[in-house]
Amino acid sequence: MQNEAYTAASERIEQQALDDLFQTAPDDTRQALGLARYDTSSGTCYLAAKEPNILLNRVIGIGIQQPATAADIGMILDCYSAAGVADYFLHIQPWVRPAQIWNWLFEAGLARSRGWTQFVRNAASPAGCSTALRVEQIGPGYADEFARIAADGFDLSVAARPAIAALVGLPGWYHFMTFSGDQPAGVAALRVADDVAWFDWAATDVAFRGQGSQTALLNRRIEKALELGCHTLCTETGEAVPGDPQHSFRNLVKAGFRPTHTRDNFSPAAAYDENGRIPSAAS
């Protein structure tokens, strides 16, 4: 797959995964988190007014299927402002249309935050993995434990756990867990649509980190994706930056994923320094 074709497939299934989270959350959880979803002419705005986490407050698809407009950017900013959400990400691909979108973002007071590197993998079999942990595909009986580990791993509140738990057993989703004896150690999920597999919700309980849980879960999900006939396996993680140990990045490369490019993230918070001021160009 060329980068732009991969991007279209990757963004489409990532959006499907996020749609599932927002649409299947129990009603009381939706209210507790303030979940809402809005479509613009070229992208989709997800917001969680009562859950200040960038994972739930972001915009996918801008300028990919069709060119974005300045009105789209204005509508997105208005949605978050009206909901009282102070920080969020606008995902911007390198080949976004039109090129003027970067000017509109800067003029709106946004700035580039840490990007998310996109990864793709072919249909080769995974390498082996040495760990004492046991890997199992799980069903709804383990949904609460899955949600606990995933929410903690992504810094989501206890209130967000029922939304994650509701994904377990949903059509198109496959959930996996590592165990130390009978104790849940790590979790990860796979969202499949057609022949594309999206790797999602990978996290490890702090008590079991460094024991090979995520490598084992990556390999098991690769096996499942191939079993289901997937030809494109995709995911993402934060771009490499100084001072970050890059555990996820290294695990993905070790499992046969290759980085294709980095998707820019524009954020209002990135435009301000620690004193709440907009830094000068010379700083």
Residue range 126-173, pLDDT digits in tens? 887 789 999 999 999 999 999 999 999 999 999 999 999 999 999 999
**How many residues make up the chain in this entry?**
283
pLDDT > 70? residue 110: yes
Query: What is residue 278's predicted lDDT score, i.e. its pLDDT?
Result: 36
pLDDT tens-digit readout, 223-241:
999 999 999 999 999 998 8
* 178 and 216 Cβ atoms separated by less than 8 Å: yes
pLDDT > 80? residue 3: no
pLDDT tens-digit readout, 207-227:
999 999 999 999 999 999 999
pLDDT tens-digit readout, 243-273:
887 889 999 999 999 999 999 999 998 865 4
Percent of the chain past pLDDT 90, that is, above it, reads: 81
What is the four-CA torsion angle of 89, 92, 97, 99, rounded to 10 degrees?
100
Q: Where are the domains of the chain?
A: 3-117+264-271, 134-260
Query: What is residue 8's predicted lDDT score, i.e. its pLDDT?
Result: 79
Tell me which long-range contacts 63-67 makes (C-beta under 8 A, separation of at least 24). 63/92, 63/93, 63/96, 63/97, 63/98, 63/101, 64/7, 64/8, 64/11, 64/93, 64/96, 64/97, 65/8, 66/41, 66/42, 66/97, 67/42, 67/97, 67/98
Distances from the Cα of 260 to the Cαs of 74, 117, 199, in angstroms? 30, 7, 16
Query: What is residue 282's predicted lDDT score, i.e. its pLDDT?
Result: 27
Query: What is residue 40's predicted lDDT score, i.e. its pLDDT?
Result: 87
Which helix or strand (DSSP H or E) is residue 94 part of?
A: none
Chain-wide mean pLDDT for the chain?
Answer: 91
Number of Cβ atoms within 10 Å of the Cβ of 206: 9
pLDDT tens-digit readout, 14-48:
999 999 999 999 999 999 999 999 998 888 999 99
Query: What is residue 272's predicted lDDT score, i.e. its pLDDT?
Result: 54
Centroid of chain to Cα 107: 27
pLDDT > 50? residue 182: yes
Architecture of domain 134-260: 3-Layer(aba) Sandwich (3.40)
Can you list the positions of beta strands (E) in the chain?
Answer: 35-39, 44-48, 58-60, 89-92, 111-121, 134-138, 173-180, 183-193, 196-204, 232-238, 258-267
Instruction: Output the pTM of the full model.
Output: 0.92
Backbone angles phi, psi at 176, to 5 degrees: -135, 155
pLDDT tier for residue 277 given thresholds of 50, 70 and 90: very low
Query: What is residue 2's predicted lDDT score, i.e. its pLDDT?
Result: 55
